[in-house]
Amino acid sequence: MLSKALEDRAKQLTEQGERLAVATVVRVESPTSSKPGARALITSGGEIHGWIGGGCAQPAVIRAAQRVLSAGTPELVRVTPEADKVIEIGLTAHKSSCKSGGVLDIFIEPLVKRHSLLVLGSSPCALALAEFAAKLEFEVTLAANGELPSIPGVFLHEGYELSQLHFSSRPYVVVATQGRGDKAALTAASRLDVEFIGFIASAKKADALRSELLGVAGVGPALANMIAPFGSAINVRTPEEIAIASLSELIERRNSTLVSTKSPQSSEHRSAGFEDSSSVDASSADAGSVNESKDSSPGHSPTESALLSSLATSGAPSKSCCGG
């Protein structure tokens, strides 16, 4: 974890649009002024905030941090006077000009900004999505009519009067009402300043609701660009698996350097996997909810992919997610 001072500095810099890497000293060989656990923030411009060692290490750390920010992947760096003798796999060696002869191993990773996520609905899918997203460093708010269960790391809000909610960034919104308050949730989401609105529903149902609501007093313009069906194209059957498919797309969008939108062909291609609640009863809606297979890994770090995999295989409760 970052110290309170570095956390505050990181927040200030990210609010200014700065991209940051975090450098952590993981191993040292004396003599060196640094100690394991020392941390610093490095900006894309090469400014260091914090302490990870003296002037000998800093140029190498800055170069490595700029590579990390460019590639979006972590790097383990060894700063040593004998860089040509480093043979360990996975280590990037940098020659130190220090005459002291000390060695530093420094792990450098991009600082992932905590994106705000607003989940609307109290369906099993909505509850699972909120829970899983909080574990992957999203800043999660869950809103629905009626009482909601406590979920670690998730802020709960009763009702769809959302104007008083505050977010640290423009939120991603996922509507997972699935037949229970669809119109109220979509209308509320449309009034917010959001990155996008994703709707866990078939393209057919989404198009029908969009056509019905657009132009109605109180419905905002954000609804016109609603993404549906929302979620990566994987074969899903349980509420938890539908939540994981949605979380996968959230991760891909968060980690992408490009602002991507669903093409009409993509939504049409995938719509067969999401049944409408009007035609399928709640007990069987996700049976046969199949999206055509595609590579679900782009945009995911190894940690994210591992956690998605563990969530998918951790066992799902028997209650089913209603179609929608």
CA dist 64 and 44 (Å) reads 10
The answer on pLDDT for 23 being more than 90 is yes
Q: Do residues 40 and 52 touch, judged by C-beta distance below 8 A?
A: yes
Confidence of residue 53 (pLDDT cuts 50, 70, 90): confident
Looking at residue 3, its pLDDT comes to 87
Looking at residue 318, its pLDDT comes to 34
Confidence of residue 114 (pLDDT cuts 50, 70, 90): confident
SS3 117: strand
Amino acid at 304: E
Average pLDDT over residues 62-78: 90
Helix, strand, coil content of the chain in percent (nearest 5): 30, 20, 50
> What pTM value is reported for the model?
0.61
CA dist 189 and 126 (Å) reads 15
Q: Do residues 300 and 308 touch, judged by C-beta distance below 8 A?
A: yes
Burial zone of 23 (CB within 10 Å; 0-12 exposed, 13-18 middle, 19+ buried): buried
Looking at residue 123, its pLDDT comes to 97
Alpha helices, H only, the chain: 4-15, 58-71, 124-135, 182-190, 203-213, 239-255, 264-270, 302-312
Give the residues across from 131 on adjacent strands: none
CA dist 290 and 267 (Å) reads 13
The answer on pLDDT for 260 being more than 50 is no
Confidence of residue 174 (pLDDT cuts 50, 70, 90): very high
Looking at residue 115, its pLDDT comes to 87
Q: How many CB atoms lie within 10 A of CB 287?
A: 13
The answer on pLDDT for 257 being more than 60 is no
Average pLDDT over residues 131-141: 94
Give the residues across from 139 on adjacent strands: 116
**Average model confidence (pLDDT) across the chain:** 81
Average pLDDT over residues 301-310: 61
Alpha-carbon distance values, 271 to 207, 227, 286 (Å): 11, 11, 13
SS3 139: strand
Q: Is the dihedral of CA 258, 140, 168, 166 positive or negative?
A: positive
Q: How far is CA 284 from the centre of its chain?
A: 30
Average pLDDT over residues 207-226: 94
Domains of the chain: 18-110 (no CATH), 116-312 (3.40.50.720)
Confidence of residue 277 (pLDDT cuts 50, 70, 90): very low
pLDDT in tens, 219-248: 999 999 999 999 999 999 999 999 999 999
Give the residues across from 173 on adjacent strands: 118, 197
Of the listed ranges 9-18, 172-181, 203-212, 292-301, the least confidently predicted one is: 292-301
Q: Do residues 148 and 142 touch, judged by C-beta distance below 8 A?
A: yes
Looking at residue 302, its pLDDT comes to 57
The percentage of the chain sitting over the pLDDT mark of 70, rounded to a whole number, equals 79
Q: Is 90 left (phi over 0), alpha (psi -120 to 50) or beta?
A: left
Looking at residue 237, its pLDDT comes to 92
Q: Which two tokens stand for residue 266?
A: 């993509």
CA dist 80 and 310 (Å) reads 38
Q: Which residue has the tokens 């917010």?
A: 192
Confidence of residue 307 (pLDDT cuts 50, 70, 90): low
Average pLDDT over residues 202-221: 94
CA dist 78 and 80 (Å) reads 6
Q: Do residues 231 and 172 touch, judged by C-beta distance below 8 A?
A: no
Confidence of residue 95 (pLDDT cuts 50, 70, 90): confident
CA dist 304 and 296 (Å) reads 11
Looking at residue 112, its pLDDT comes to 74
